[in-house]
Each structure stands twice: as C-alpha cells, then as structure tokens.
C-alpha cells in the first residue's frame, strides 16, 4: 500500500520507523505521523501561525455545517480506502475517522505543523508529511481522494485511484466571503470555478451556503489568516478589516464529486 518516496518500493513499519528493502528509512514522530517528504525539496506547507489561526477558527465550529454535509455526502458512497490530500489540522479527517471506523484513512499535508496538530488523539488515521504531488501510495490502491481547500494534482490523484475511484473536491463558491472581500477591496470579483480535470468526469455538485457572524477581532483575524487575501490584500483594506469587532459574511462552498475515467487495463 505505502511506497518509499525515494525508490517507490514497498514501505513497511519496523518498530519505530518505516523502511523499504533498499534501506531508506523514515522516522515516526512521537505524535505518530511519518515524515515522507524528501529533504532536498524546497516547498513547505502552512506555517505555525496559519495552522494556529485555522485550528482556532475551525474549533469554534464556523465550518461544522460544511463538515456535516461532507459526511452526509460520503455516507452515500461506498469505499474502503480514503485519502485526505492536504488535510491541514485534520478537522475534517478526524470527523470522517469517527464516522467511518472501518475505513483505512491516509491523510497527508506538506506542513509538519498541521500534521502534528492533526495527529492529536487519532491513532486510526495514518498521517504523513508529504506533497499531494508525490503521494507515497501504490498505483490504483485508493477508492476515494478528498481535497478540501487544498492544492490539486489531478495526474497524481488519477495514478493512486482505483478504476472508477472518486475524487471529492471542496472549494469556495463564487460568493464565498463576499462581504469580507467588500471591506478588503474596492472592486470585488466572484471566485473562479474549475470543473474539468484530466482523467476525471464531474458527476455531482452540491452547494453549501450560509452566513457566519464573527463577534471579535480575534475571530476576524483568524478567518482572514486562513484565506489567500491575507497575503495579497491592499494594506488599507487589511487595516479596515482588522479594526472591526463584528463581521457578518456569507460562506459558500461547492462539494464536487468526480469519477476516475480512462483506466481500461484495471480489474
Ligand atoms: C487551506 S488549507 C486546508 C486544510 C484542510 N483541508 C482544511 O480545510 O482545514 C491548505 C493546506 O494545504 C497544504 N498544502 C499546501 N501545498 C501542499 C502540497 N503541495 N501538498 C500537500 N499539502 C499542501 C497546506 O499546508 C495547508 O494545510
Ligand atoms: Zn526506498
């Protein structure tokens, strides 16, 4: 199931490490996750502060209605092996693990800070630090891949999914955080949508939308830090937002179900 990131041979657990037959070894951290990202690569995932802000915000329950809809969606499908690609702090992964106790769950993120947080108290999920572009998994071994507000690598998802495997994507809808963006920018545009991925066919879309009310500066800053706007907003707009004590804004998500196609040689 798991493969070595260096040589692609099978990876197996040997006491406190994972190793392959070519003697490549990967330590298991105290918290239980495995570092599978090759050290000479430069990318990093979210930093400590971003992880802290997202953990704070998610624990307040603002996105629980979305999580409930994802769980409902998953209940309508049949799968034995699930991957959460770009799992962050495991907010969704760990709730999925609670509901689907018989499913093998693998969750990966490039940020060791996020994975460290995700591991807390969840022994039945295999957590690894690696990129979604290089999943340490055998070809055609997975029934469903989830990507929730995370980078998408369609060719890699296609490689590890079984024939007719599912790709469940959760992304912001056109009007997501519209009122927050009105404070940040003078001209506000709707978010772009993407519905085509090589090797996949779109089967179903479900929209989830509701308003959230943030009643403190801390809540507003935490939400802001979770978004790409934190890095690219005009300074005036950022100041205006961070001066607020109250913000009501729409959240709008799309849950999109894709099916793997073009794997004729599979059983
Ligand atoms: C917006 S967060 C979403 C996290 C989680 N799915 C959630 O919704 O709470 C995006 C996550 O993708 C991770 N990430 C960024 N680039 C990545 C990559 N190439 N491979 C794996 N994870 C990546 C970040 O570290 C971050 O945790
Ligand atoms: Zn190896």
pLDDT digits (tens, 9 = 90+) for 111-170: 999 999 999 866 689 999 999 999 999 999 999 999 999 999 999 999 999 999 999 999
Average per-residue pLDDT in the chain? 94
The CATH number that domain 46-260 falls under is 3.40.50.150
Q: In a 3-state reduction of DSSP, which class is residue 218?
A: helix
Tokens 């493969």 correspond to 3
DSSP of 28-62, one letter per residue?
BPTTS-EE-S-TT-------HHHHHHHHHHHHTTT
Q: In what order do the strands lie in the sheet with 104-109?
A: 34-35, 125-129, 104-109, 81-85, 142-148, 161-172, 247-260, 200-214
Ligand 1 atom nearest the C-alpha of 131 is 20
* pLDDT per residue as tens digits for the range 209-245: 999 999 999 999 999 999 999 988 999 999 999 999 9
Among protein residues, the one with the nearest Cα to ligand 1's atom 10 is 150
At 170, list the tokens: 């959760």
- Could you tell me if the CB of 249 is within 6 A of ligand 1? no
Q: What is the signed CA dihedral for 73, 252, 177, 228, rounded to 10 degrees?
A: 50
**87 Cβ below 6 A of ligand 1:** yes
From 91, 96, 110, 152, the mutation candidate for ligand 1 (largest count of ligand atoms within 8 A of CB) is 110
What string of DSSP letters covers 85-135? ET-TTSHHHHHHHHH-TTSEEEEEES-HHHHHHHTTT-TTEEEEE--TTS-
Supply the pLDDT for residue 61: 98
Partner residues linked to 254 by β-bridges: 171, 207
The answer, yes or no, to whether any atom of ligand 1 lies below 6 A from the CB of 88, is yes
Would you place residue 39 in the very low, low, confident or very high pLDDT band (cuts 50, 70, 90)? confident
Shortest-distance Cα residue to atom 17 of ligand 1: 110
In the chain, what are the domain boundaries?
Answer: 46-260
**For ligand 1, what atom is nearest to the CA of residue 153?**
19
- State whether residue 220 is helix, strand or coil: helix
Split at pLDDT 50, 70, 90, the class of 267 is very low
Task: State if residue 117 touches ligand 1 by the CB under 6 angstroms criterion.
Answer: no
Single pTM value for the model: 0.96
Per-residue tokens: 205? 């879309």
Give distance in angstroms: CA of 216 to centre of ligand 1: 26
């Amino acid at each position: 199931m798991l493969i070595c990131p260096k040589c692609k041979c099978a990876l197996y657990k040997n006491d406190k490490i994972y190793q392959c037959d070519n003697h490549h070894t990967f330590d298991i951290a105290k918290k239980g996750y495995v570092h599978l990202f090759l050290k000479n690569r430069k990318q990093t995932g979210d930093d400590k502060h971003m992880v802290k802000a997202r953990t704070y915000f998610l624990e307040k329950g603002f996105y629980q209605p979305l999580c409930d809809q994802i769980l409902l969606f998953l209940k309508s499908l049949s799968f034995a092996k699930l991957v959460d690609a770009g799992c962050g702090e495991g907010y969704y992964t760990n709730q999925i693990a609670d509901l689907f106790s018989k499913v093998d769950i693998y969750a990966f993120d490039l940020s060791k800070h996020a994975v460290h947080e995700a591991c807390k108290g969840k022994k039945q999920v295999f957590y690894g630090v690696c990129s979604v572009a290089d999943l340490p998994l055998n070809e055609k071994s997975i029934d469903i891949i989830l990507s929730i507000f995370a980078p998408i690598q369609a060719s890699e998802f296609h490689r590890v999914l079984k024939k007719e495997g599912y790709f469940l994507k959760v992304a912001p809808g056109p009007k997501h955080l519209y009122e927050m963006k009105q404070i940040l920018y003078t001209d506000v545009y709707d978010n772009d949508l993407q519905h085509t991925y090589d090797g996949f066919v779109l089967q179903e879309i479900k929209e989830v939308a509701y308003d959230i009310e943030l009643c403190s500066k801390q809540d507003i800053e935490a939400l802001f830090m979770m978004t790409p706007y934190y890095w690219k907003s005009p300074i005036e707009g950022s100041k205006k937002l961070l001066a607020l004590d109250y913000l009501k804004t729409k959240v709008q998500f799309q849950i999109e179900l894709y099916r793997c196609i073009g794997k004729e040689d599979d059983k």
